[in-house]
Amino acid sequence: MVDEAKKRAGGWIVYLVALLIVIIWGCTFVQTKLLINAGLRPDEIFFIRFLLAYLLMLPFAGRRIFLGSARDEFLALLLGLSGGSLYFVTENYALAYGYCYNVSLIVCLTPLITAFLVGLFYRDERMNRKGVWGSLVALVGMALVVFNGNFILKLSPLGDILAFAACLCWASYSLIIKRLQQRYSNMLVTRKVFGYGLLTILPMLAVKGLTWDRIFVADAVVWGNLLALGCVASMLCFWGWNWCLKRIGTVRATNFIYLNPVLTMLTSAVVLGERITWVAVAGAALILLGLVYIDKNRNKK
Q: What is the pLDDT of residues 102-114, one digit of tens each?
A: 666 677 778 777 8
Residue 149 counted as domain residue:
no
Domain span at residue 28?
2-117+154-249
Residue 184 gets which letter from DSSP?
A: S
Residue 263 counted as domain residue:
no
* R_g of the chain computed on alpha carbons: 19
| pLDDT given at position 125 | 67
Residue 183 counted as domain residue:
yes
User: Which burial class, exposed, middle or buried, applies to 126 when counting CB atoms under 10 A from its CB (0-12, 13-18, 19+)?
Assistant: middle
Residue 73 counted as domain residue:
yes
Residue 266 counted as domain residue:
no
CA angle 99, 155, 272 (to 5 degrees): 20
Total domains in the chain come to 1
In order along the chain (301 residues), what is the average pLDDT of each group of 10 residues? 52 86 81 80 89 90 82 94 91 73 70 78 69 72 65 64 87 88 89 94 88 72 89 93 88 77 68 67 74 59 43
Residue 107 counted as domain residue:
yes
* Four-residue CA torsion sign, 263, 267, 268, 273: positive
Residue 140 counted as domain residue:
no
